[in-house]
Structure 1
């Protein structure tokens, strides 16, 4: 892992932001939530940005990842892994698992997150996005969160 940036990735509502401070502390590195940093730097709420101009949002998130200091821990948004797989090649990418049922339950209850496909029902959107991204995530080299944590525990006990 050395000076590589550790990227915490996965589906929307998987728990990436919640895990960020834990993984940062475990590694003794600075942690940053990419979505929060995008809002701060651009002064634009993600909910409206994603709805009004998804292409400029995607370009900004990819650019910002490249500007962050090396050896940090970064939680990226739910679409990053599927939209920018090539941007993750030089990074150590942890994927946070979430079942479809948990994903659905969390997003049905969260009215603050932007809709990605407002032209279909929320149920149809969630099903389509989850399964499309699952296929795309499978193509990106990642480390499962459970394997990463097991590795950290083995190193600490050695």
Structure 2
């Protein structure tokens, strides 16, 4: 099966090292799989920091005909705070504000949430369509080492150790949380 135009566009927005997995999920997606896109549910893009959720957001929004919301940008606008400083100085209040902002969103949008949202608030996503944007560890590491604007999450260890620790912990959690893969989601949208 050849990849669709939509899938090819999505692939251009994500980690090249994850392409094989996304294509395999697309091709393995069952025919006739239900995709609950009623107006009350959000479609929520989740995944690691630096996975490319914000890059794929407008592509998927156009594909499903929904308004796109980047929750981190929305939080910065609502609270007029620098998110890096906020996460570094008061992570608990940031997580509470992030959760409240998500809960207050109008229904029927597609939302890219921050890298920690799924890990810290899995219950907030119950009843929504959760789509994981994949990123390989190698790309995750490269992007975080290159991007000094992202806040540190574990300040008492080296950045290298933080990157390994956070990625591993979240990967373990992500495997247990209900979600759709990006490839399966694109296939289901095209086949509905």
Q: What TM-score, normalized by structure 2, do the two folds share?
A: 0.79
Whether 2:38 is the aligned partner of 1:2: answer: yes
Taking the aligned partners of 2:43 and 2:137, their CA distance within structure 1 comes to 25
The correspondence for 1:59, drawn from 68, 90, 96, is 96
SS in 1 for 2:176: coil
Whether 2:151 is the aligned partner of 1:114: answer: yes
Taking the aligned partners of 2:127 and 2:79, their CA distance within structure 1 comes to 26
Map 1:12-51 to 2 at 5 A: 12-51=49-88
Which ranges of structure 2 fall in alignment gaps of 5 or more residues? 1-36
The count of residues paired between Structure 1 and Structure 2 equals 155
The offset of 1:79, in angstroms, is 0.2
Higher Cα radius of gyration: 2
The offset of 1:69, in angstroms, is 0.7
RMSD over aligned Cα, in angstroms? Answer: 0.8
Taking the aligned partners of 1:53 and 1:125, their CA distance within structure 2 comes to 18
- Name the counterpart of 2:136: 99
Which ranges of structure 1 fall in alignment gaps of 5 or more residues? none
Q: What TM-score, normalized by structure 1, do the two folds share?
A: 0.96
The offset of 1:154, in angstroms, is 2.5
The offset of 1:153, in angstroms, is 2.5
